[in-house]
Amino acid sequence: TGKYTGSLETTNPRILRIAEEQLIATESYDFQCFVALTSNSENNNTAVVMVNVMRQAVVAKIAGGKERTSGTDQALVLDASVSEDPDDDTSSTFYFTWSCVNTTDNTPCVENDGTTLLTLATRTANTTTTIPKNTLSTGTYEFSVFVEKGDRNDTASASVVVTQGAPPTVSIGTLDSSKYNSEADKYLQLVGTATSESTVASTAWTQVGTSLGGVFVGGSDTLTTGVIQLDSLTAGATYTFKLTATDVYGESSYAMVEVVMNEAPSSGYLAVTPSHGEVFNTDFTFLSENWVDEDLPLLYKFVYMVGYDDAETPVADAQASASYSCLLPQGVAEEDNYTVTGKTYVYDYYDAHGSATDTTRVLPVKLTTAQLANISAALTAEAIESGDPETSTQVVSATVGVLSDEDDGSDEDQRRRLLASSETSALRTSLLATLEKTYAMSEITQANIDSMMSTLNGIVSAPNDLTTATAVDSLLFATKLLSSSVDASIGISAAGTGYAGAALSNLLLSSMFNASDVESVTSVSAANVSEALRYLAMAQLDGAYAGVSFTMSSALIHSSSSREEARYLGGATTGTPGSSAKVYFPSNFSNVAKLDVAVSAYVDTRVVTLDTDIYTAYDPYGTKVVTKMYGDSKYNTDLNSDVTQVELMDEDGDVFGVQGMSREIIVTLQATEQIDTNFSGWKREEICYTSGQVIQFDCPLGLQEYTCDSSLGDVNGAYFLDFTCPGVIPTCLGWSEVEGEWAHEGCSVLNYTSTNVTCGCSYLTDFVLGKNVTASGVDISYTSAPTPLPSPLPTALPTAVPTTLPTALPTAVPTTLPTAMPTTLPTALPTPVPTTLPTPTPTTLPTPLPTPVPTTFPTAVPTTLPTPLPTTVPTSLPTSLPTPLPTPAPVAGGLVTAPAWHAVDEAGKTTSSFEVSLVTEPLGIVYVNFTSLGNTAMRPAMIEFDYTNFDSPQTVTVSAVNDWIDQGDWFTDHIDLNFTSTDECLEAENRSLPCGQYVPYDRFDGVNSADGKSLRMDVNVTDDDTAGVAVTRTLTNTTIDNYGDALGDDTYGIRLTSQPRFDVTVDLSMVGTESRFSYTDVSAVTFTADDWNTTQYVTTSSSAATGARPVCRSAAASSRNYKQSCDELKGRQDAVGHSIASSDPFYTDTIISIPDVQIYSTIFYDPVLPPFFKEAKFTDLLNGVLITFDKDTDQGGFTGSFECFELLNLTVTKKIEGTEWIGEGSMCSWTSSSQLKVTFGSEPTVVPGDVVRLADDMVRSSDAAASLRAMNQTTVI
């Protein structure tokens, strides 16, 4: 009938799937299926099915929610535009009739005067009706709308609570379904809006009635858009959710929506027959009956589980038939008695499903590998030839089931497998090829993807049986399955996710990551694994709302995928299951990372932990093969953790490049080998007595030697030696795409324990822990010799050796990252050293004193007094103690230890620091905060002191704020230290102290500190921004037809490379002498500080001016040799020039050079030739001439009668000018589009043999695409 306009082409030849909106309501369709043998098409048959399409009811809806609030001072808008016609019938129109009841007393609604009935629209095509403000009194009103379309109608109602004034306006969007299913990993998004004449201060979602708790996805209950976890709701129940908004004045209002939960089909059963059979030899039938549900029609999907495992494999997609016959794989050996569990899922109209199971036994068949291969090949070939992808998949699945059962782990089995390894490898390779053929003829549905992913997992379940090429192809096929799910927007089921994770885990153990040809196999495969996992995350998140997350955990891969709106990204930690690896993004992350997306745009986060090192390969002997991709020689290191991948993507899977952030991403990684944190075990103590003395230390990493140097000791050359052994500490590494290897830049250790390391990183990539060995450290100490001043009697023996050992351990400075414990000290990689090293402090000399003892020690009692001696002895002691001097009042101040100036850079590679402490003990708390001009950041931004820590220096780190503004190669900022205090004189009195103890830190002016250092510190900031104008392309291509009309245009983009202080205008102008053919659609583009990095596009086009048309002319008409080249445009290239106008000193033409954009014009030759004269002859009555063309023309744009000179050149070969030859008053007209009639006027002189000439550039073919006009056309009458 032609009424069906959909496609009759199918992927699976046995199934025609008709999409929604393809069939028209009330129509009947006959669909015919023609079936023939591929070997003999004459052996065929047909079947016909009639499809009657029933009409669906219209659905009335009122926008805003089931119940909502409005104010007396607000107009009330009632909107029924969300009403639906599922049939989308355009032959009739919606009409709306509104009514109202005051539910307080169930009376008709009246206006606020109490008597006038409220007038509402009746049978109007308008979808909305508005009640003006101050029309209704406070109260509760129920508004109903009667919706009619043809002979179909429906009614909907909504309540409005009218309150005094103008509270916030709250509305909830209409739900997209009448019922929802209580399922895991399924969510419902409630989209609300809240506006106010003032400002909305807060919003909150609540459940009306008994609160279930945990209904909303974390944090969304405080947003206008709330996301509900549907599995927290009970099937068959109805729930009401309320969105409340409160403004800054405390006025609140609300809207409510009702959610109806669906009940799944029930009361049915499944029977799998026969009760037992053999793999390959038995067809098993699933029969699912007696299911009850009100939401018809029902669909049936059948799956199986080998043994009693819960890993489900579909045998076919969901179908209308309640029975299905298929092959099943053999069951698990004797322990499960070869049991296979069948299961049916029965779906209603809303996709709620009930399920039932039954078991059967699938017994093995004794086959050699060769026999198994032959049977599998024969059955799959038959299935593929007959267009049956489901059976083909079932055969492949059954085959890998037999392969898996062959390996029982015994010694005999291992010997047998070694002998048959080439056969099994070949069979697995063949099965993969068959599965790919099956995929090519399968529909992309979730069940089919699950089934093929399950089968693929079976193929790769024995990684040692896979050749490298088969492993590589298997990984690519897994990626193809996942990308197909994404492209078809069908998502992936939990079962499919599990099979994908298992298959990828198996492939990580294959030879493609242990290949000898590392560069071409391992490195590419590592990238392919990342791509597959990216598609898996995209499939999991398909159709997901903000706040939703999914996980996957397999033997070697653990992943977490989550979605959030850009505005809410950050301030939370994301981890992976089965691993302590986690990532913390700083708050307001989309701005910090400069993602350049709308605040409401979805941003997906992918965190994956790989339990094996896929970036390092091993040869067949187990020797590590250093790759160019990971672990190259620049930072030679042993890795000490799993690899953790962190990515941010948009909904389309495009990865955001996050780097150079001013605020760190916190990445916690779990160490593979325990980290030594027993730092006391790194300490050794000895005494040096003479130069050249060699001391050996037995360190954890081996013997270390130290040679003594007496010049470092006391007057006798002796000194204490506090030695710190080299030790292994962790380093944080990120994969650098630029350098092609692991690197530490931009990623540092913040803290670590024996098992976990916390890294601070300024970019996103793959992260891993490395090992580093610190340099040994030495601290020297001794007691000084006696002073030369005389004293009456020595008070104690001077000592040549120190009385105590040092109290602090040396700081070990790591250098580079060795792969094994180095024999020499590393040289270049600074690494933070633990700050909590224990400090053993012996309080007395070692006993007995070490030998040899210096010979110059003084004797126990001096035999003579030191020289010089005092000349007299005081005759008496003072009669009284001297009067003590008054104690000056303490002076407030800060001790600042800082460089002369700080040097930092915006790229974050260089930072600085300073230390602050107080001079005097405060009574209360002293706060020191730090301010700058905005280009410098201090961490922490404020420090505190009290009596417990006032004299302990606190370190402040200085870094540059990474903005986008060009401020020159470098510029200066400064840091001010500002002191405030809670000290009060009253507090001194409370502590019985004189008020002089009161230190007024809050009045400290901050000009100079107690140590004389300025409290305003200069900072030199190296800028990493460069003002410039980026042009996306410097060549555009345009096309022009041979007449001169523009055909195809092209575009190029312009944006700035840094944020300007003032608006920047880029003016466009054509340069060169031939610019008349090329144009731009705008003459200038302007950028502001808000949109400077948003690319603005310029469209270029080419066309000929009127005087230059046509650009290609024809040769003589007789030869019909129309030129196919245009000298006017041959090799033509115009250009767009650019100039800058701005008040920003860095955006001037003298500083910035913008390249010209070339415009290359290409002629497009019209293949349709212009019309040619065919003949010209006198009319039968000899009163005119009929001129016939060889094709239909556009008639030169003329209709009716017109002056002939407008279309004909009236100069003829007889040299007769003007119209004399066709007579005064002659006229022309078209009798058809291919024939022109000349009607003579009075006294014509034309005779046979005269020549008729057509005016140039007037007539062309009637073809709408034609551009060539007739030129030099003449014919003889």
254, pLDDT greater than 80: yes
Q: What are the Cα distances from residue 1157, in Å, to 719, 1035, 1051, 1137?
A: 75, 5, 10, 7
Look up residue 506 and give its two tokens.
């198996």
Q: Which residue has the higher pLDDT, 426 or 813?
A: 426
User: Out of 329-343, 455-469, 876-890, 939-953, which region has the weakest mean confidence (pLDDT)?
Assistant: 876-890
From start to end of 452-597, where are the E strands? 549-553, 557-565, 572-575, 582-585
Q: Residue 781 corresponds to which amino acid?
A: S
Q: What are the Cα distances from residue 466, in Å, to 16, 407, 918?
A: 37, 15, 70
| Residue 527 CB neighbours (<10 A) | 13
Q: Which residue has the higher pLDDT, 264 or 1041?
A: 264
- pLDDT confidence tier of residue 984, bands split at 50, 70 and 90: low
Look up residue 429 and give its two tokens.
């390779």
490, pLDDT greater than 70: yes
Q: What is the pLDDT of residues 124-175, one digit of tens each?
A: 999 999 999 999 999 999 999 999 999 999 999 999 999 988 999 999 999 9
Cα–Cα distance measured from residue 1188 to residue 1254, given in angstroms and rounded to the nearest whole number = 12
CA-CA-CA-CA dihedral for 1254, 1259, 1261, 1266, to nearest 10: 130
- Identify the pLDDT of residue 256: 96
- Identify the pLDDT of residue 992: 53
Averaged pLDDT score across all residues of the chain: 81
988, pLDDT greater than 70: no
* Paired sense of beta strands 1064-1071 and 313-314, if any: unpaired
- pLDDT confidence tier of residue 983, bands split at 50, 70 and 90: low
Cα–Cα distance measured from residue 248 to residue 251, given in angstroms and rounded to the nearest whole number = 7
- Identify the pLDDT of residue 697: 93
With beta carbons less than 8 A apart as the criterion, state whether 302 and 286 touch: yes
Q: What is the mean pLDDT of residues 823-839?
A: 36
Q: Residue 654 corresponds to which amino acid?
A: D
Task: Write the DSSP assignment of 1077-1105 as a string of letters.
Answer: GEEES-SEEEE-TTTTTS-EEEEEEE---
* Nearest partner of 1268 among 1164, 1182, 1190, judged by Cα: 1164
Q: What are the Cα distances from residue 748, in Å, to 577, 743, 1167?
A: 25, 10, 67
- Identify the pLDDT of residue 630: 34
Q: What is the pLDDT of residues 396-408, one digit of tens each?
A: 999 998 887 655 4
Place of tokens 């059954």: 398
Cα–Cα distance measured from residue 132 to residue 299, given in angstroms and rounded to the nearest whole number = 50
- Identify the pLDDT of residue 815: 35
With beta carbons less than 8 A apart as the criterion, state whether 43 and 36 touch: yes
Please provide residue 1124's backbone torsions phi and psi, each rounded to the nearest 5 degrees: -110, 25
- pLDDT confidence tier of residue 1167, bands split at 50, 70 and 90: low
Q: What is the pLDDT of residues 70-121, one digit of tens each?
A: 999 999 999 999 999 999 988 899 999 999 999 988 889 999 888 888 999 8
546, pLDDT greater than 50: yes
Provide, rounded to the nearest whole percent, the portion of the chain with pLDDT above 70: 80
Task: Write the DSSP assignment of 628-693 as a string of letters.
Answer: SSSS-GGG---B-B-EEEEEEE-TT-PBP---S-SSPEEEEEEBSS-----GGGGEEEEEE-STT-
- Identify the pLDDT of residue 894: 66
Q: What is the pLDDT of residues 267-291, one digit of tens each?
A: 999 999 999 999 999 999 999 999 9
- Identify the pLDDT of residue 198: 84
| Nearby residues of 1215 by Cβ (< 8 Å), 6 or more positions away | none
* Nearest partner of 331 among 294, 377, 279, judged by Cα: 279
- Identify the pLDDT of residue 793: 39
Q: What is the pLDDT of residues 496-514, one digit of tens each?
A: 999 999 999 999 888 887 6
In this structure, what DSSP letter does residue 828 have? S
Q: Which residue has the higher pLDDT, 630 or 306?
A: 306
Cα–Cα distance measured from residue 859 to residue 798, given in angstroms and rounded to the nearest whole number = 10
| Residue 484 CB neighbours (<10 A) | 18
Q: What is the pLDDT of residues 689-698, one digit of tens each?
A: 999 999 999 9
| Residue 293 CB neighbours (<10 A) | 22
Cα–Cα distance measured from residue 78 to residue 336, given in angstroms and rounded to the nearest whole number = 64
Cα–Cα distance measured from residue 188 to residue 241, given in angstroms and rounded to the nearest whole number = 12
With beta carbons less than 8 A apart as the criterion, state whether 729 and 821 touch: no
Q: Residue 1195 corresponds to which amino acid?
A: Q
Cα–Cα distance measured from residue 1021 to residue 911, given in angstroms and rounded to the nearest whole number = 10
Q: What is the pLDDT of residues 46-64, one digit of tens each?
A: 999 999 999 999 999 999 9
Cα–Cα distance measured from residue 90 to residue 766, given in angstroms and rounded to the nearest whole number = 55
Positive/negative CA dihedral, 388, 390, 393, 398: negative
- Identify the pLDDT of residue 421: 67
